[in-house]
Amino acid sequence: CKDPQWHNLDLFFEKHSRQLTPQKQLKEEAESVMEQLMTLVQYTAELYHQLHTLDKYEEGYQHKRIEEFNSRAAQRGDSLAILRAEIKGQRKQVKNLKKKSLWSRSLEEVMEKLVDIVLFLNKEIHTVFGNADDDKPSIGSLSIQQRLGPAGLSMHYANIIIQIDTIWSGGSIQFYSSQLKGYIIPKPAA
């Protein structure tokens, strides 16, 4: 995968293939990475909410400025000063959230964390359910009678997809995410 649209994923997978990390350590690392990503996602969602609020404040400020300029009111600067203070505070909050969210992270950093999680999940699935090609469970896996089976596994994946779809359909996050989607999802060749 030398194509830049795949963000050099081969380097991340190659790094993992050279390391022989015990399953327990992999699990701890994956849990830690998932917690970090979830925290970043929460800050990012809050950031988008605050950016929307900042846009509304700035829009309101512009309308108020035009309104006061046209009315030539005696107490002209009071409400504008209040709005300016609100905008300043909001910008400060947005700046702090940008540092704590995915906004300040490079795509490669996030992709590396996602690869860590995917590889751990793949090993966990193989450990628990065994190899899909043979009927014998792998060492340490559940017996065949205790397997989830294709239907149950499909339902589990469907539930995950529904949850992702629910998150995706959230207003402002969808707008910003759709802009990023062009960078993450490769375009079909013409």
Span of 67-71, 134-138, 180-184 with lowest mean pLDDT: 180-184
Instruction: Give me the domain span that covers residue 178.
Output: 148-190
Q: Is the domain of 130 the same as that of 164?
A: no
Q: Is the domain of 106 the same as that of 130?
A: yes
Q: Is the domain of 73 the same as that of 103?
A: yes
Q: Is the domain of 97 the same as that of 51?
A: yes
Q: Is the domain of 10 the same as that of 62?
A: yes
Residues 17-69: tens digit of each pLDDT: 666 666 777 788 888 888 998 999 999 999 999 999 999 999 999 998 888 87
pLDDT-derived band at 86 (thresholds 50, 70, 90) equals very high
Q: In the predicted model, what is the mean pLDDT of residues 120-135?
A: 72
Count structural domains, the chain: 2
Q: In the predicted model, what is the mean pLDDT of residues 68-95?
A: 82
Q: Is the domain of 156 the same as that of 127?
A: no
Closest to 47 (Cα-Cα) out of 7, 104, 6: 104
Q: Is the domain of 115 the same as that of 180?
A: no
Closest to 126 (Cα-Cα) out of 38, 26, 36, 32: 26
pLDDT-derived band at 95 (thresholds 50, 70, 90) equals very high
Q: Mapped to the 3 state alphabet, what secondary structure does the chain carry?
A: CCCHHHCCHHHHHHHHHHCCCCHHHHHHHHHHHHHHHHHHHHHHHHHHHHHHHHHHHHHHHHHHHHHHHHHCCCCHHHHHHHHHHHHHHHHHHHHHHHHHCHHHCCHHHHHHHHHHHHHHHHHHHHHHHCCCCCCCCCCCCCCHHHCCHHHHHHHHHHHHHHHHHHHHCCHHHHHHHHHHHHHHCCCCCC
Q: Is the domain of 92 the same as that of 41?
A: yes
